[in-house]
Chains A and B, each alone.
Chain A
Amino acid sequence: QVQLQESGPGLVKPSESLSLTCTVSAGSFTNNFYWGWIRQPAGKGLEWIGRIYPTGGTDYNPSLRSRVTISIDTSKNQISLKLISVTGADSAIYYCARGGHCRGGSCYSPWGQGTPVTVSS
C-alpha cells in the first residue's frame, strides 16, 4: 500500500513563499498515476491546487496558477509544492494524494495525513 507523508514549515510570513514536500513510499512512481496537492482551510472544504505526472507534466487550479509550482523528483520519491506571495488566505492543511488509481482516472487515493501551514507575521 502506497504511503504519503507531507512535510514543511508550519509557519510562513505573509508575502513570502511556502514550500512543502510529499515523500512517497519507494516504487510508487509509475506512469499510471499522478500526484496532487489539495488544501483545506480550518473548518472549511477542500480546494484542489494542482497535479503532476511522473513525466513532469502539470495542471493547476486556475485561481492559483500564477502563484503555484509543483515539481517532482522521482529519484527521491518526492513531490514538491511551492506557493509564492502567501497571505492569510493560504493558511490551511495541505494534503498530497495519489491520483488516477480508478476507472476514469480522476479520483485521489490514498491521501497523506496532511501538514498544517499558518501564514502569520
Chain B
Amino acid sequence: EIVLTQSPGTLSLSPGERATLSCRASQSLDNLYLAWYQQRPGQAPRLLVYATSSRATGIADRFSGSGSGTDFTLTISRLEPEDFAVYYCQTYERSSAVFSFGPGTKVEIK
C-alpha cells in the first residue's frame, strides 16, 4: 500500500505570496498517478492537477505541479483570497487497483 505524506500540515501565508506544498510517497510513483485537489470550507474537493503536472479544465495557471519518483510539489505562484483552502494529493496503485489520499495541507491567511 502506498502511503502519502504531505508537508507542511499548515502553511500561513499572505495574499500575493508563493505557496509550495509537498507530497511524499512511500514508494516511487508513475507520474501519471499523482493528482492534487483543492477543498474550500464547506465544499467538495475539486481537481486541480493530474498526471503530476497537467492542470484540470478551468484551473488558473498560477497552479502548477511538478515532481517525480517519491517527491511531488504543488506550487501556487501568487495566492489569491480564494486559494486559502486545504490541498490533498492522491495516487493510484495500479497493481492493487487502490487509490489513496494524503492527509492534506491547509493554506491559511497569515
Q: Per-residue CB proximity of B78-99 to A under 8 Å, as 1/0?
A: 0000000000101110001111
Minimum CB–CB distance from A79 to chain B (whole Å) comes to 16
Closest B residue to A96 using CB positions:
B44
B62 at the interface (CB under 8 A from A): no
Would you call B99 and A45 a contact (CB within 8 A)? no
List of B residues within 8 angstroms of A110 by Cβ: 46-47
A46 with B56: CB separation less than 8 A:
no
Known A-B contacts A48-B98, A61-B98; the reply to A102 vs B47 at CB < 8 A is yes
Please report the C-alpha to C-alpha distance between residue A111 and residue B35 in the assembled complex, in whole angstroms.
14
Report the minimum CB–CB distance from B93 to chain A (whole Å).
9
Cross-interface CB contact of A47 among B43, B56, B101, cutoff 8 Å: B101
A103 and B54 in contact (CB under 8 A), knowing A45-B88, A46-B88? yes
Bound CA–CA A45/B92 (angstroms)? 17
Give B59 Cβ to nearest chain A Cβ, in Å: 10
- In contact, A45 and B103 (Cβ under 8 angstroms): yes
B99–A106 CB distance below 8 A? yes
Contact of A107 among B47, B96, B103 (CB under 8 A): B47
Q: Decide if B67 is an interface residue (CB 8 Å cutoff).
A: no
Asked if B103 and A104 make an inter-chain contact with CB atoms under 8 angstroms apart, the answer reads no
Known contacts A36-B99, A104-B32: does B50 contact A111 (CB below 8 Å)?
Answer: no
Asked whether any CB of chain A lies closer than 8 Å to the CB of B17, the reply is no
Which of A38, A95, A104, A109 has the largest count of B CB atoms less than 10 A from its CB? A104
CA distance A12 to B16 in the complex (A): 45
CA distance A59 to B96 in the complex (A): 9
Are B44's CB and A102's CB within 8 A? no
A–B Cβ pairs within 8 angstroms, 14 of them: A45-B104, A46-B37, A46-B45, A102-B54, A104-B33, A104-B92, A105-B32, A106-B50, A107-B51, A108-B37, A108-B47, A109-B46, A111-B45, A111-B46
What are the 4 closest A-B residue pairs judged by CB atoms, nearest first? A104-B32, A106-B92, A109-B47, A102-B50
